[in-house]
Every structure is written in structure tokens, then in C-alpha cells.
Chain A
Amino acid sequence: MNPVPGTLNSKPRIAVHKFASCDGCQLAFLNLGEDLLTLARMVDIVHFAEAGPVNPEAAVDIAFIEGSISTPEDLERIRRIRANSRQLVTIGACATAGGVQALRNFADAGEWIASIYAKPEYIESLATSTPIAQHVKVDLEIWGCPVSGRQVLAAVRALLSGVPPWLEKDKVCLECKRQQTVCVMVTRGLPCMGPVTRTGCGAICPAFGRDCYACYGPAENPNTESLARRLEGLGLVPEAVARRFHFINAQAPAFAEAGARRGKVSRD
């Protein structure tokens, strides 16, 4: 990739920005160990508040975005970041699908306020938590709660080399087959979300003898209706089926829809 105009002969510049999130996807960088030092030699990390550099308005080649849009100020900030960035990459479920906090999008805002607000309001917040792509153009979305360092490094490499990054879109089921993990749904009747969930996690839940809970979001062409019926066949009531879809990636369209078909998650 050519450097940002005006910074000829310099290293590619990257930034890591945070919105509403748990900070866990930034750890994909901070847990890299020795590779973090290598990365820092290959690129200029110009903004990454948790790691030290603070320069939120800098022009960069790649901006990594963690977190969802949930305040009016966030809206302004993400637009400025987009304007300053040649490529914008979302990392994780919050930035890519609104995150677990997007469960609040199902709440009726009016009811919500009436039930809780007795005192003056101090904090500005939007009624919804939304993914970055709903507000600005996103060049690459990396799914996962959390994303893995391997995915993020591979994306950096690809983007810097000017080739389209390769992303996993397969279902967790395929990963289980590759690893020869015994199917927890077939053998133990667990309500596994693997048949509709994107892999990239390494299918760790079935390998640990438990059901996948869809933290990597929807796979390509997920047959959610068929899975929903299967989950009902395993004894889940419709409301419990809805909760399976409405969890970490509740606002991913395929999951939002599948959950809504079984009735929204009640919260009262």
C-alpha cells in the first residue's frame, strides 16, 4: 500500500479506536507478544490510547475500530475517523454487529425510560447500539467476540500488501469436522449454534463439550429457520430459541430476524 499522501517514504500508519466495548478485541494486539514489537517495526501506530499513542485525528492508512455506536458523540467521531482513514476495519462483534449491548435495541425506549428514570438525566446515550457500517463505509469487517490475533494480523498483512484479505465464512460445523470433534448436538442433544455460526474461533466450545453460542456471528448463507426448528425439536420453547439468536450478535440481520420469528426476548 502506498503511504498516505504527504508522508512519503514513511511506514504505513495505523490507528486503533475504541467505542462502546469491553476492550477485549484490542487485546488481539496487546496479546501478540513478540509479534506486537514486530508489528510496531512494520507500521507506525499513531493512535492506540490503551497502548500509549494518542492522536485521534491523525490521517492513517488503516483504522481499526472496536466497539459500537451508542452516543451522539460517537456518531460525530466515527465520521471524522472515516474521513481520516484510507481503509477502515471493524474488529469484533460490537463494531461489526452492535455487540451484546445491542440487546437494548429490542427494548421499547419509552417504556425503558419510564421504568428507570426518576432522577435528572446526566448521560447522553442513543436508544440503540449499532454497528459501524450503519453509519460509515467499512472496508473490512472482522467478526468475533473476541476477534483473534491471528485474524487481525492476517488482515493487516493482506491490506498492507494490497491483496483482498481472506476471511473465514464457513460454519463452525465444518471446523468441528476438520478437527474430528464429536457433534454435541447429535450425541448429547445440546442446542448448538454451530450450524449457523461463522468459524474462526477454532470451534472451541464443542471441543470443550459444550454448545456453540454464536459469538462469531452468522456464517455465509445460514439456514436459521431449519436450526430453529431443530432447537425446538430438542425441547427449547420458542422464547428460548429466540434467546439463542439474540445474544452476542443480536443485531446481525440473520440472527435478528431468526430471533424475531420466535418472538423477541422479553425483559420485564
Chain B
Amino acid sequence: MTESRHIPVKVPVLARVEGEGTLELRVHDGTIEDLRLRIFEPPRMFEKLLEGRDYTEVPDMVARICGICPVAYQMSAVHAIENLFGVEPGPWVRDMRRVFYCGEWIQSHSLHIHMLAAPDFLGYSSVVEMAGKYAPEVRRGLKLQALGNDIIRLLGARSVHPVGARVGGFHHAPKPEEVSALLEKLHAALPEAEALVRWTAAFDLPLQEQDFTCVALRHPREYPMNAGRLVSDHGLDIPADRFEAHFTEQQLSHSTALHCRLDGKPYLVGPLARLNLNLDRLPDPVRTLVDGLDIRFPSRNMHHSIVARAIEIVVAIRVAINLLESYQEPQRPYVEIRPRAGSGVGCTEAPRGLLWHRYELDAHGKLVSARIVPPTSQNQARIEDDLRQSLQSFGLNQREEALRHFGERVIRNYDPCISCATHFLELRIT
């Protein structure tokens, strides 16, 4: 005899994610009848706000899309506009942009691991609660987060909405003594970050393999941040300006973030996808560290995302050390720009995954149109897919509280940053 069990599981406010969203689940007779990750972050319509602005204003404006990953927005934007102008800012700028990005990865990943995700795996509701029993680990996390912020400050003066980036390079070059002071901190943090990797790998992570497509940038030599081709583990290999030929966004009634699909299917972006696709681009010592773990990459277990994040912190520290060891103050930290009309594309790896921008400018350098595809809209379809599969195998006959908690955990693996619902959607103006 089947008992009809109709439980609406409603998580009215998702905790420990950036931005606001809800999960709605309807279970009937042991199957999921309806599942929606609702993102109701009020759309701020950045693509529209950008129209009519001068290209020089773009880095400061797009930073405001996300307070947690402003560097990513600034980087995709300056690359897109330089691509449009046909400008190549040279090796110093390229290296410093990579350092800048390392800072954001370290800051954002540390924040996510310690404040948003680890409490799940250790059975606490917040980092403050967790700090009682795990004081040294929490302190280590806060220190790493602060280190990431220090790197961003070196080049951007402040860590949230930094002011150093411009089209063509940076407004300001750090003094060699500031760089040396930071290098000391980076060297000191390296063993701590490696310990963090081992700590997360030892968590009691659920064993749940799923089938999904990973998408990330891939660079001929480096672990990808600012440059590379768009690749997947299902044969995709295209330059960034071919994005729109393969990726389409769909609007769904229940979310202000668009769902992006690759050839019609959900896919994953972010640390786990990046790591899975770029294991052979890890610096040698990091590869050795990863090979020594009990977890094997590439991994099909989304719960391994937290380990991938910790590994990327080590990557970022090493890359920053490497680039700053040979630091020299440049004559000028930027190249001159002469605007011209056209359209340009920029794609970089934000902490949460691919961040794709396209801008069209007029001959005076004013913005005609913008299109911004943030990582969370790309992961959204994958998150819903994951929830359907993993809640089913978790057991839908569980208590409502348990289902809710489990659903939240699954969502947090993706570190969704909901504030970045940049898109201009259908709106009802009242």
C-alpha cells in the first residue's frame, strides 16, 4: 500500500550562500514532483545600467555586481574591452592581473570553506559556533582570507570594490618593499594552506558520484585564470568568442537568474570543473600534494568541491609567490588606449567559475550594449539536476528537517553567488 506523502519542503531563506534564494521541493508518493531553486535576488539590471557609460567607467561599475568577486568582474571586463580595442598591455600587466586574481581566489575560497561550507561537514550552523571546538582551524581560515584581501589591496587599495584596475592595466604599481612584505606572508601561509587541503580531504564527505559535464578555461601552460580556450570533458574546445554558438540562456519563471545550457544540457563550472580539466596544469608540488590524498581527481563527487577549493588556494599562493619573486616596478603600469567602435569578448575564471562578458562600444568609447554571463546562472541547471538525483538517493522518506538540511548542503557545494543575477529579465513594474 502506498501512502501518499505530500511534503512541501520549503527553505525560505538559504543560509550561508551569497545573495538570496529559496529551495522548493514537492514530494509525492516517494518521487519528486517539483523542485525549484528559486533565485529571487532583485535583478539590478547591470547590463542596462552600463549602456551609455564611458568604457573607463566599466571596471568600477561591474565590480558592484558582486562584492565577493569584484576582481573577476573587473578582469573579464578589461579583457573584453582590450579585445575590442586590439590592445595588448604586456607582460607586467598580465602577471599582476594574475596576482590580483590569486588574491580573490584565496579570499573567496577561504570565506566559502570556513564560513559557508565547513560548518555543514562538521555539524555546526555557523563559523562562530564552529570556532569553539575548531579554534585553530577557524583562525587559519580567517588568516588565509585576510591574506587574499592583502593581495587584492596591494594592487587595488581595498579588497571590496578595489580601485586599482583600469582598461590597459593598473592605475598604480606597488613599491618593491610592499611586495617583499607580502611575499613573507605568502611563504608563511603556504604550509597552512597545504594543511587546509588535508583537513578538508579528511572530512566525512558523502560518497555520491554523478554524471555531469565540466566546463572551464584551459591554457597551454598555466592553471587557468585570465586566459585560455573554453573546454569541456565532452569534447568542447573553442575560443571564448565562440561562446554564444554553443551556450544558450533560458529564462525560467521561478528565477531571476537565467539558466545557461551547453548544447542544450546542464553543465558544471567552478573549482571542481577547473581542477578536473586542468590536473596537468597544476604546479608540480601541488600535483604531488593532490596525488597524496585519498581522493582521486578527476572526481564525479560534487562534495569534493570543498577540497578542490582548498587545492586552488595552494595553487594561488604558489602562483602569486612565483610572479612576485621577480617583481620589478614598471615605468608605467598601463598602456594608453585609443577607443574605437566594435564588440569584444572577455572570459576569465571567477572563483565560482566561468565569467563571460561581451561589450559593444561606439567610436567614442561609449557602451552600446553589454552581455554578462555569471557562473551561478551557468551552474543553476546543474544544481537542480544534482538536487533531484541526490535527494532521491538520500531518501525522500526522511524527515522534512533532514531533507532541508541535505538540500542546502548540496546547493552550497556550488558556492552559488546569487547577487550576480545581473541579467535583465522580464519585469513587472508596479
Contacts and interface: CB of A to CB of B under 8 A. Distances in A.
- For chain A, what secondary structure do more than half of its interface residues adopt (helix, strand, loop), or is it mixed? loop
Interface string A99-123: 1110110010100110011011111
A: contact size bracket: 35 or more
Contacts of B425: 122-123
A100 B65 CA distance: 10
A72 B126 CA distance: 31
A189 interface: no
Contact of B16 (A50, A99, A124): A50
Given A53-B126, A104-B49, A123-B426, A208 B157 contact: yes
B145 interface: yes
Interface stretch (A14-22, A81-89, A163-171): A14-22
Nearest to B146: A33
B429 A209 contact: no
Contact of B160 (A51, A146, A266): A146
A70 interface: yes
Nearest to A69: B42
Contact of B126 (A51, A109, A205): A51
A101 B15 contact: no
A34 B251 CA distance: 42
A201 B161 CA distance: 11
Contacts of B371: none
A240 interface: yes
Interface in A25-45: 25-28, 30-31, 33-34, 36-37, 40, 45
B188 interface: no
B70 interface: yes
A207 interface: yes
B119 A207 contact: no
A25 B67 contact: yes
Contact of B157 (A33, A70, A74, A207): A207
Nearest to A240: B54
B139 interface: yes
Contacts of A70: 42, 44
Given A22-B64, A24-B68, A208 B42 contact: no
B20 interface: yes
B127 interface: yes
A204 B127 CA distance: 31
B57 interface: yes
A99 B419 CA distance: 14
Nearest to B124: A52
Nearest to B143: A33
B290 interface: no
Interface of A: 18-28, 30-31, 33-34, 36-37, 40, 45, 49-54, 56, 70-72, 74, 99-101, 103-104, 107, 109, 112-113, 116-117, 119-127, 129, 145-146, 148, 201-202, 204-205, 207-210, 213, 215, 240, 243, 247-248, 265-268
Closest 9 CB pairs of A and B: A24-B67, A52-B126, A204-B157, A208-B172, A101-B44, A22-B67, A121-B428, A20-B42, A146-B160
Interface of B: 13-20, 40-46, 48-49, 51-54, 57, 60-61, 64-68, 70, 111, 115-116, 119, 125-129, 131, 138-139, 142-143, 145-146, 149, 157-161, 163-164, 166, 171-172, 251, 253-254, 256, 417, 419, 424-430
Given A54-B15, A126-B430, 8 more contacts: A22-B67, A30-B111, A50-B116, A51-B115, A74-B42, A100-B49, A124-B428, A248-B60
